[in-house]
Amino acid sequence: MGSGLIRKQKIPPALLVMSKSLRKAMTPAERRFWNAVRGNRLGGLHFRRQQWVEGFLADFYCETLKLVIELDGGVHEHQKGYDRLRDAAIRKLGLRVMRFGNDEVMDQLDRVIEKVKASTLPPRSPSPVERGVRGKVG
């Protein structure tokens, strides 16, 4: 997937109006997360709110990381199957999805931000001890 995939989408005007409306009426958890990442505050990374991704509305999206962030409230308890299908469709585009509960964002924002930051780091190679390799005994 090339850069700009999301920006090149054709979004019907009614959906653009809907996303604009949702940006104005964010949940408390969305507002709290947004205040932590807006203005490139998270390591210079640019996040967008209420971003359409191939017919699905993502709470937050970072193009640089190819990362969708979803904040889940009570409604998600009743739509777990839909969320799994949605996440799978988004992943097929080469994007990653991270989900956090609203309570987690409200009560442990620092922990949520640390998890997002950790997702920006390249995977760490396991140490020889973690791989089960032992040094030679001479």
Q: Where are the domains of the chain?
A: 24-32+47-59+66-118
**Mean pLDDT, the chain, as a whole number?**
79
> Residue 28: pLDDT band by 50, 70, 90 thresholds?
very high
Q: Which CATH number fits domain 24-32+47-59+66-118: 3.40.960.10, 1.10.510.10, 3.40.50.80, 3.40.50.10790?
A: 3.40.960.10
Reported for 112-116, long-range contacts at CB under 8 A and 24+ positions apart, including other chains, are 112/33, 113/36, 113/37, 113/42, 116/37, 116/42, 116/67, 116/69
Concatenating the DSSP letter of every residue in 4-33 gives: TTTTT----HHHHHHHHHHHHT--HHHHHH
Residue predicted with more confidence, 93 or 4: 93
- pLDDT tens for 57-113 read 889 999 889 999 999 876 545 567 878 888 888 888 889 999 999 999 999 999 999
pLDDT at 134: 55
Residue 36 has pLDDT above 80, yes or no: yes
